[in-house]
Amino acid sequence: MATLASELDLPEITLADGNYDQRHAMRQSLSRDQWLVRNLFGYGVLHYDDATAVLRDKRWHSATSRIPELMGITNPAFLERQQISILSAEGDVHTRLRRLVAQAFSPRAADRLRPFMREVMNGLIDGVAAAGRADFTTDICEPYPIPIICELLGAPKRDWQLFSRWASDILEIFSSDVVDKLDVIMRAQDELGEYTRGLIAERRSKPAEDLLTDLIAAEEAGDKLSNDELVMMVNAVIVGGTDTTRNQLGCAVALFADHPDQWALLAERPELAPRAVEEAMRFFGAVRGTARFASCDIEYRDVLFPAGTFISVGLAEANRDDAVFPDPEVFDITASAPSQPQLTFGSGIHYCLGAALARAELQEALPLLAQRMPKLAIDGAITWKPDGVGIFGPAHMPITFAAGQ
């Protein structure tokens, strides 16, 4: 007979705003048998096998769909838009969307953009190379993903600025005062929607080698994405693919600054880039956790979670689980690949749709940076973003490096 979760005597852990080192120390202090903890939202799992079990169990639904409600948003037009997004859809609606778009986000599709990614990154490094110093966040991380997303969609260079503004406005959905920002967010969504409809019309008459053309052509058993769904996918690419990539690049470089031998090694052996990206994302992921709620009563490991229960999944903690990673506290880009993947892209049906693109972006950026920014060092101190459950990374990261490369 399963025990009701609320009747268990569980340790409290603050996954919402706890300092990462404290959380990490907390995890290490827990015995291996302590698989469930209590936190601000409800419960939390921290071990790799429990994290993947929750993420792969379709009865646990993504908490993304509940965020507007939890933040006190009641605007019906906004809520309606959220409902058709792949980021919050569940069940058959979600399965259909994933099936239709999967091919357009394949590694092969991402590979098309690799030369362009190098061109963008080289251009950004050119801007700071002579000085030998930069704010890595504002000079490199911030501007990196927008041109790539524009190129991915087939939007011309003259529109990068427009996209940059829409992205910043739309990304306000992650801010703590989102209720006050709804007008700004919806205006940007409207403008982006109108722009995307124009691009769709162009691509329908003149197909090109880009994501939008692939998405328009995507078809399964006679089923196709509607114009509204195409617009929603572009919105999801901006929401899911901009700040994540920026922050992951920032976290990775902060980590390398702490491990100069690994930085020099990556410069010397750029073929290590794929392993370096997985290891950096394991050791220091920009997405440290995600959350689910029980869509019905769920029994797991003899515990009953009533419908509606929230559970947070500690991706960062699971990524340091010694049951899966042989030397979890050592950052080593030459270590052989672990038997199971790092979890910073999630797992299960909501596994990051843009993982191939993000991997390509990081695999192209990091070796170039290592080669052109030798002797990288933090110049003073990094200012970190608030340590919540959302996207984490450096807000400012002053760096120095050997100039002129």
Binding interface with ligand HEM (CB under 6 A): 62, 86-87, 98, 236-237, 240-241, 244-245, 248, 286-287, 290, 344-346, 350, 352-354, 357-358
Q: 340 or 405: whose CB is closer to ligand HEM?
A: 340
Strands 303-305 and 310-314: unpaired
Q: 5 or 238: whose CB is closer to ligand HEM?
A: 238
Whether the Cβ atoms of residue 233 and residue 200 lie closer than 8 Å to each other: no
- What is the closest distance, in whole angstroms, from the C-beta atom of residue 180 to ligand HEM in the complex? 25
Q: 13 or 167: whose CB is closer to ligand HEM?
A: 167
Q: In what order do the strands lie in the sheet with 298-300?
A: 3-4, 303-305, 298-300
SS3 of 162-194: the string is HHHHHHHHHHHHHCCCHHHHHHHHHHHHHHHHH
- What is the closest distance, in whole angstroms, from the C-beta atom of residue 239 to ligand HEM in the complex? 7
Whether the Cβ atoms of residue 43 and residue 309 lie closer than 8 Å to each other: yes
Amino acid of residue 355: A
Question: In a 10 Å sphere around its CB, with 0-12 CB exposed, 13-18 middle and 19+ buried, how is residue 354 labelled?
Answer: buried
Task: Provide the token pair at 178.
Answer: 């989102």
- What is the closest distance, in whole angstroms, from the C-beta atom of residue 240 to ligand HEM in the complex? 3
- What is the closest distance, in whole angstroms, from the C-beta atom of residue 343 to ligand HEM in the complex? 8
Q: 289 or 398: whose CB is closer to ligand HEM?
A: 289
- What is the closest distance, in whole angstroms, from the C-beta atom of residue 105 to ligand HEM in the complex? 7
Q: In what order do the strands lie in the sheet with 60-62?
A: 36-38, 43-45, 310-314, 289-294, 60-62
Q: 52 or 262: whose CB is closer to ligand HEM?
A: 52
Task: Provide the token pair at 129.
Answer: 């190379």
CA dist 136 and 156 (Å) reads 26
- What is the closest distance, in whole angstroms, from the C-beta atom of residue 69 to ligand HEM in the complex? 16
Q: 5 or 358: whose CB is closer to ligand HEM?
A: 358
**Number of residue whose CB is nearest ligand HEM:** 354
